[in-house]
Amino acid sequence: MTTESTQDTPAQPWMAELLAEVRQSRQVLHEQQLELIRERRRERRWRWLTPLLLFGLPVLMGMLFVSSLVPSMGVGPLTGLLDRAPRSPSVGVVRIDGEIGADHAASAHAVIAALHRAFQSPMVNAVVLSIDSPGGAPVEAERINQALAALKAKHGKPVVAVIQGIGASAAYMVAMHADQVYAGKYSLVGSIGAVMTAWDVHEALARLNVRQRTYTSGPLKAMLNPYEAPNERGHAKARALVNQVGQAFATEVRERRARTLQPGFDVATGEVWGGLEAKSLGLVDEIGTLEQVVQDRWGLRMHDFGPRGSELGMFSAMAQSLAGALVRQASAAASPRIK
């Protein structure tokens, strides 16, 4: 008797395909579940990040903006808080760094505000002018000197100037109004006088067949116009202005440094001297660095009242772009100024 064996091989491929489809469906479902979990996590993150970005960021930007403006203004109820006024006896340091000018960190506006904060602080026993500047606008220096004299008369605090890298021209004009002037051995001091610069580009424009028409109410109203041919009368007037300002500067140096200037020393040559030579000539009183002077004279900690470049404000710094610098250079070329 023979038995027939039943074979299920035809059913095996069908079963394998079914199992493969089930496994694939389960894998797709698993990936969908993971993506759903990730999506919900992202939603939870943005649920609290969105209000923070919408409301917190503007508040933070506003605080940074105010904190950068108020110290340089020197006014308002937040000035002392933002300045972190000293809580123990200190020596106030007011910085004159870089060019002295209305659109620079060492502007009269910023330096005078720092001087007010230093003199008005009850914990400041003395004020030190830390100077590292090649000079700049004499009118800005004059404003600083007038404010310094008024604050000294009102508060009676001693004022010392310490020339660090360089104290030249208008920077020395400020330094000599301190009670004493110090400089390092390797400092540069002097450049007493005045200078006026002007460009002459009329020949270059003529090659391009470009002419400028200028209508003035007087013969010297547009003197030293860089776009027109120069004339001797304008040159003579420019030289007279420079000599007048330079002589006034030299006269003030002779008056304020009369007790120390070396006899027969010509202060008006416009040159600079090293710290040691400047001391021997009488332009500075002693040789010393900032830290050395403060420790030797008072033995107190220093408190920095600025101004610093950051006090121009974040948005102001952003505004000083390359294009703005080029415009200012072009304006300066067309409008000669005395330094």
Mean pLDDT, rounded, for 233-249: 92
**pLDDT higher at 256 or 319:** 256
Q: What is the largest CA-CA distance in the chain?
A: 147
Question: For the CA atoms of the chain, what is the radius of gyration?
Answer: 35
pLDDT at 331: 46
SS (H, E, C) 251-270: HHHHHHCCCCCCCCCCHHHC
| CA neighbor of 138 nearest in space, from 222, 223, 253, 225 | 253
pLDDT at 334: 45
| Percent of the chain's residues with pLDDT above 70 | 80
The structural domains of the chain, with segments of one domain joined by +, span: 86-334
When the pLDDT of each residue in the chain is averaged and rounded to a whole number, the result is 82
**pLDDT higher at 185 or 21:** 185
pLDDT at 67: 55
- pLDDT class for 50, splitting at 50, 70, 90? confident
- pLDDT class for 30, splitting at 50, 70, 90? confident
| CA neighbor of 120 nearest in space, from 110, 108, 112 | 112
Q: Rounded to whole angstroms, what are the CA distances from 216 to 213, 223, 304?
A: 10, 10, 49
- pLDDT class for 15, splitting at 50, 70, 90? confident
For 309-326, what is each residue's pLDDT tens digit? 644 444 444 444 444 444
DSSP 4: P
Q: CA-to-CA distance for 33 and 40, rounded, in angstroms?
A: 11
Q: Report residue 162: phi and psi, to 5°.
A: -120, 115
pLDDT at 304: 95
pLDDT at 3: 47
**pLDDT higher at 52 or 187:** 187
Per-position DSSP letters for 181-221, written without gaps between them: EEE-TT-EEE--S--B-----HHHHHHTT-------SSTTT
303 beta partners: 92
Q: Which range, of 65-79, 116-130, 192-206, 211-225, averages the lowest pLDDT?
A: 65-79
pLDDT at 158: 98
Mean pLDDT, rounded, for 249-258: 96
Is CATH 3.40.190.10 the classification given to domain 86-334?
no
Q: Which range, of 94-108, 293-307, 322-336, averages the lowest pLDDT?
A: 322-336
- pLDDT class for 66, splitting at 50, 70, 90? low
DSSP 138: H
